[in-house]
Structure 1
Amino acid sequence: MAPNSRIILTRHAQAEHNVGLDYSIHDAPLTPLGKKQAAALAPQVEALSQEVDLVATSPLKRTLQTTKLGWAPAISRLGGLEKVILLPEFQECNDFPCDTGSSQEILSQDPELHGFNFSHLPPDWTSKQGFWSADRTRIAQRAKWVRQWLRNRPEQTIVLVGHGDILRELTASAEGPSGYMWKNAEARMFTFDPSTVEGDECFLWQEKGKEVAVAGGYAPTSTEDDILGVGNGKKL
């Protein structure tokens, strides 16, 4: 257990569903611009990549692509893509097609994702049912599970790549989810709140000025669209 570890959270780069707010695109991958944004992240975090001990990511296509491109220096140093840990618990919150992952078979056949180890993904992780549902209680449970997983890891510096809505859930406080609007391919550094690190919630905390890098612009999530009054998003 490493309660003093540093957690570098990263949002995926621009994906196809961010363009035109089309949430019907299943497991939306990065756009050509998104790939450029993700690749532009790598030189911004090159020095920090030398300190990274572990890389983990949501197993949706856009986060896998962002991880591969944006954290390439760290991944190479740590032994390649097969060493990246895939966390289905960190999938995006909503049950739109764009936020629904793909099966092991589909992911393993994608040439852009060759090298990742999909063998540990449970068959039902894409079901959006039960533990994997878009219910607020389940989302909070998954976010807490991820915080506990991070706290219990022995590594000192961990990269975790995810999505805007689940990142706000992960960085929640006792008052509720964060309201921060994550930018595309943005990385921010967090540590554990000393007052809660030993408890079940083990909230994360960020010092002011601990932004790491921003490689892309801002594209709203489906939940943010609902808050902002645009698009076809639904409130969680």
Structure 2
Amino acid sequence: MMKATEKRLYLTRHAQAEHNVASDYSIPDAPLTQLGRQQSEELYKATKDNIQKTAELLVSSALRRPLSTMVIGYKDLRKRLEAEGKKVIVLPQLQECNDLPCDTGSSREVLEADPEYAGLDFNELSPEWTSKQGFYACTVPALQARARWIRCWLRSRPEREIVVVAHGDCLRYVTDGYNSGALWANAEVREYTFEKNEDEDVRDEAWLAPVKEIAKEGTEERTSSEVKESKQHGET
């Protein structure tokens, strides 16, 4: 059995989305901007000859901006894995942390009707995935519990190398355990492994350890949490 400390996770923040550039969190399930699509193409160029040739699993949040980043930026990896019978896992637990319109996903039916996402498997999306309640609540304890669930889920997977596409605030909870304010650029990829093997992890937290930066195609656009906070303080 593979040790957790031998695994490699390539955590990716989505490319620039409309709410990033407009500082407007009222945009429903905010899509990528044209620049975000260009950043996703640059992400593809930066990873097509390395991690896309070796990764064994591709996982994405179910919101539009990470889905589109994944479809454009990791197209070779997706094609190779699907040829091997391994579909992209669209994971609702990777959704962004706030209950803002920009961070609330679309229904499974809406996503399945979008031509850009043709062929993706949305079976993991239950009706309550957009509820922002219960397991998907936006309280700190709920977000910390969900981040721990994500880490443990990734550790339990049999694959050695996993690419994950998600959101800035979500990635902070996953890597730091809270909304640390750590800067994540749009279309940035960082490599992580696990601090401990499962049998050594007494608290079963599955904490991650950084390895190195793989790619960084955008700038550190503010997350929705930061936009919300600045507006509450009357900033622009």
After TM superposition, the score normalised by the length of structure 1 is 0.90
Q: Which of 19, 23, 26 lines up with 1:17 in the alignment?
A: 19
Q: CA shift at 1:232, angstroms?
A: 4.9
The 5 Å alignment of 1:163-202 reads 163-172=167-176, 176-194=178-196, 198=201, 199-202=203-206
**Partner residue of 1:27?**
29
> Does residue 69 of structure 1 match 2:72?
yes
Question: Does the CA-based 8 Å contact 1:82-1:117 persist in structure 2?
Answer: no
Structure 2 counterpart of 1:42: 44
Q: Which protein has the bigger helix share?
A: 2
Counterpart selection for 1:130 from 130, 134, 137: 134
C-alpha contact (below 8 Å) 1:27/1:60 kept by paired residues:
yes
148, 152, 155: which one aligns with 1:151: 155
- Alpha-carbon distance, 1:177 to partner: 4.7
Alignment map for 1:112-131 (pairs within 5 Å) = 112-131=116-135
Superposed displacement of residue 130, structure 1: 1.1
Match in the other structure for 1:140: 144
Equivalent residue, structure 1, for 2:113: 109
* Shift, 1:194, TM fit: 2.0
Distance in 2 between residues matched to 1:85 and 1:113, nearest whole Å:
13
In structure 2, distance between residues paired with 1:177 and 1:84: 27
Structure 1: gaps of 5 or more residues: none
How far is 1:180 from its partner? 1.7
The aligned counterpart of 1:86 is 90
Residue identity opposite 1:225 in structure 2: V
What is the TM-score normalised by the length of structure 2?
Answer: 0.90
Residue 222 (structure 1) aligns with: 224
Q: Is this contact kept in 2: 1:222–1:232, CA < 8 A?
A: no
**Structure 1 195/50 Cα, relative in aligned 2: closer, same or farther at 3 Å?**
closer
CA shift, 1:226, in A, is 5.3
Distance 1:107-1:26 versus aligned 2 partners, 3 A rule: same
Give the secondary structure class of the aligned counterpart of 1:106.
helix
Among 27, 44, 59, the alignment partner of 2:62 is 59
- Contact between 1:131 and 1:138, CA under 8 Å: does it hold in 2? yes
RMSD between aligned residues: 1.9
Query: Over residues 3-25 of structure 1, what are the superposed CA-to-partner deviations in whole Å (9 max), with x where a residue is unaligned?
Result: 12100000000001112211111
Q: C-alpha displacement at 1:178, in angstroms?
A: 4.0
Tell which deviates more after alignment, 89-98 or 116-125.
Answer: 116-125
More displaced stretch, 129-138 vs 218-227: 218-227
Distance 1:145 1:64 in 2: 21
- In structure 2, C-alpha distance between the alignment counterparts of 1:15 and 1:62, rounded to whole Å: 6
Aligned to 1:231: 231
Q: Amino acid of the residue matched to residue 19 of structure 2?
A: H
CA–CA separation in structure 1 for the residues paired with 2:136 and 2:124: 16
Structure 2: 5+ residue stretches without partners: none
Give the conservation status (yes or no) of the 8 Å contact 1:27–1:98.
Answer: yes
> How many residues in Structure 1 have an aligned counterpart in Structure 2?
227
Shift of the 226–127 alpha-carbon distance from structure 1 to 2, 3 Å rule, reads closer
CA–CA separation in structure 1 for the residues paired with 2:106 and 2:20: 18
Measure the CA separation in 1 of the matches of 2:108 and 2:150.
21
**d(CA) in 2 for partners of 1:169 and 1:52?**
23
CA separation of 1:177/1:203 partners in 2, compared to 1, >3 Å: closer, same or farther?
Answer: farther
